[in-house]
């Protein structure tokens, strides 16, 4: 079954990416809403979210392992260490959301940080790892755009299943799309998802724990930066196909 699914994904990368995205969201929602009971002890309020993301990450790892894509997807490698500095600008943007401070007790802050780092692991493995590797035959630019669209669109689940207002969700989808585009470009440049895991987790953490939303002008500047930086990275580093190793398993 796994081999036939892999063969289908290789033959139809766009449909395969859509199917994998849908499957990942389905598994996440099943564990978050149906299978697991609410897990929010006072000593670790975000236990439920941590467990769900760890389970989903394990599922993505299993698929990548069975398809022999762990290294070529950037998941089981540190990539080009000399290029990790390329993620520094993204890290600075993430840290900018902490300018107004952090809300919550020490327990809430630590719990949220650990949980959101697991979100970073899970979402980078599935999006910039599995989905991006699936879209690889389309070329770096089309693959990065596909990753951005699918990653952004997936955040509609926050409105449909987690009670977020529609207007907030639409902004989350736009923000996630731009963010995903730059992360996809960084994966091509670096050959690993792990710098983006750290950036992703801290970006979510600082935005959620910030006492207020960033000004609209700053968000607009961040979107413009993500687009410009992602395009520059693709032009500078995307020509070689982006993977740390040649994908000999295709």
DSSP per residue, 184-213: HHHHHHHS-SHHHHHHHHHHHHHHHHSSSP
Q: Residue 122 falls within a domain, yes or no? A: yes
Q: How many domains does the chain have?
A: 1
Between CA 54 and CA 57 the distance in angstroms is 5
Threshold 0.75, pTM exceeds: yes
Would you state the pLDDT for residue 240? 57
Distance of CA 96 to the CA centre of its chain: 19
Q: Percentage of the chain surpassing pLDDT 90?
A: 92
Q: Residue 54 falls within a domain, yes or no? A: yes
Q: Residue 104 falls within a domain, yes or no? A: yes
Query: Quick one: average pLDDT of 197-222?
Result: 95
Give 152's contacts (C-beta < 8 A, 6+ positions apart): 173, 174, 175, 176, 177, 178, 180
pLDDT category of residue 120 using cuts at 50, 70 and 90: very high
pLDDT tens column, 73-91: 999 999 999 999 999 999 9
Q: Residue 248 falls within a domain, yes or no? A: no
CB 119 within 8 A of CB 53: yes
Distance of CA 136 to the CA centre of its chain: 16
Q: Residue 249 falls within a domain, yes or no? A: no
Tokens representing residue 185 in the block: 């470009």
Would you state the pLDDT for residue 202? 98
Would you state the pLDDT for residue 241? 47
Structural domain boundaries, residue 208: 2-240
Q: Residue 31 falls within a domain, yes or no? A: yes
Query: Quick one: average pLDDT of 55-73?
Result: 98
Give 225's contacts (C-beta < 8 A, 6+ positions apart): 89, 93
């Amino acid at each position: 079954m796994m081999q036939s699914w892999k063969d289908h994904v290789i033959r139809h990368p766009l449909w395969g990416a859509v199917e994998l995205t849908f499957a990942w969201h389905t598994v996440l929602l099943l564990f978050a809403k149906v299978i697991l009971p609410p897990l929010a002890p006072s000593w670790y309020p975000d236990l439920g979210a941590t467990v769900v993301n760890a389970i989903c990450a394990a599922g993505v790892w299993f698929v990548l392992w069975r398809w022999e894509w762990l290294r070529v997807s950037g998941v089981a490698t540190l990539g080009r260490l000399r290029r990790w500095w390329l993620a520094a600008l993204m890290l600075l943007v993430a840290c900018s959301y902490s300018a107004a401070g952090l809300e919550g007790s020490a327990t809430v802050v630590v719990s949220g940080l650990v949980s959101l780092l697991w979100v970073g692991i899970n979402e980078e493995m599935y999006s910039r790892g599995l989905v991006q590797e699936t879209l690889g035959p389309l070329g770096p630019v089309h693959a990065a755009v596909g990753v951005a669209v699918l990653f952004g669109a997936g955040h509609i689940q926050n409105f449909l299943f987690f009670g977020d207002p529609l207007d907030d969700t639409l902004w989350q989808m736009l923000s996630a799309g731009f963010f995903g585009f730059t992360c996809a470009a960084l994966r091509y440049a670096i050959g690993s998802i792990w710098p983006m895991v750290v950036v992703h987790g801290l970006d979510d953490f600082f935005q959620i724990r910030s006492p207020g939303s960033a000004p609209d002008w700053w968000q607009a500047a961040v979107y413009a930066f993500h687009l410009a930086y992602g395009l520059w990275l693709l032009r500078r580093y995307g020509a070689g196909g982006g993977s740390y190793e040649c994908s000999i398993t295709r």
